[in-house]
Amino acid sequence: MPEERPPLRIVISDPRASDKVVKVKVKGVEDIEYTDEMRKGKDQERRKLPIARISKRLYEELNLGEVGVMTLRFRGEGGKKVNVPFKVEVKDGLGDYEVEVNMELLGEAVGELEAEAEAFRAKAWQIAVPEDVHIKLAGLEIGDVFDGSIIGWPGLKFKIRGGTDATGIPMHPGVPGSGRVKILLSGPPGFHPREKGERRRKSVRGRMVPDPRGERRKTALAQLNVVIYYGDEEQR
């Protein structure tokens, strides 16, 4: 029986996210859903973002209207920063800078039922998708734009920027197909020269997203990097 391949991680970047940060008070409550798909652990990636309830003022101040994803940055034990991305919902009656999240999640993040945090529009977040979704992405290439409903984000479009396999080998926009090859590189992706004019022969993957059913587990595509495509500005 073949080894089960791990789910494909998709890293989503938002080019419109700003550096604005707002201090908030976070309270854990029981009536917000928190499923296994929303959990992140040592051997598990989130398939859905957890939910946070916020005021309309905070929603507008952080300019969350287009995407609705906010990151809360907590201070954990020893001052360690813990960043958790959330899909937000506006709730009437909340204080301007009050946030409600699932109490179990808050306990996992900081070990408390109430905490202070820094809130900001998420610049990037990660989700994992099952094989049937990966199969729908197969054949797309770096630079292609696809409908977000494929990965559970209807109403958005995403542009593929690259990716890496399970051993860290990157996709390269100049290589057709999805296989591994060795090419002479003078810069990224795949090589970061230390001296001007330096070149190295390095392994890279082709620019196409492969069908996971044809890949070996140890060298399968593990991460796909995408950016929200707004269509009215240059995507960097």
Nearest-angstrom CA–CA distance, 110 and 81: 10
Residue 10: inside a domain: no
Residue 87: inside a domain: yes
The confidence score (pLDDT) of residue 4 equals: 62
The confidence score (pLDDT) of residue 127 equals: 96
User: CB of 42 within 8 A of CB of 108?
Assistant: no
The confidence score (pLDDT) of residue 17 equals: 95
150 and 171 fall within a common domain: yes
The confidence score (pLDDT) of residue 232 equals: 62
Residue 58: inside a domain: yes
The confidence score (pLDDT) of residue 159 equals: 97
pLDDT by residue, tens only, the chain of 236 residues: 345 667 899 999 999 999 999 999 999 999 999 999 999 887 788 999 999 999 999 999 999 988 999 999 998 766 788 999 999 999 999 999 999 999 999 999 888 899 999 999 999 999 999 999 999 999 999 999 999 999 999 999 999 999 999 999 999 998 899 888 887 776 677 667 677 766 777 788 999 999 998 888 888 999 999 999 998 654 44
Nearest-angstrom CA–CA distance, 38 and 218: 26
Q: Do you find a cis peptide bond into 189, omega within 30 degrees of 0?
A: yes
Burial of 91 from C-beta contacts in 10 A (0-12 / 13-18 / 19+):
middle
Residue 81: inside a domain: yes
* Number of domains present in the structure of the chain: 2
Range of the domain at 212: 127-228
Decide which of 70, 98, 122 is a domain's last residue: 122
101 and 40 fall within a common domain: yes
145 and 162 fall within a common domain: yes
26 and 84 fall within a common domain: yes
Burial of 2 from C-beta contacts in 10 A (0-12 / 13-18 / 19+):
exposed
Neighbours of 174 (CB within 10 A): 11
136 and 193 fall within a common domain: yes
Nearest-angstrom CA–CA distance, 56 and 4: 44
Report the amino acid identity of residue 40. K
Decide which of 122, 153, 186 is a domain's last residue: 122
219 and 137 fall within a common domain: yes
The confidence score (pLDDT) of residue 231 equals: 85
149 and 224 fall within a common domain: yes
Instruction: Look up residue 66 and give its two tokens.
Output: 């287009």
93 and 158 fall within a common domain: no
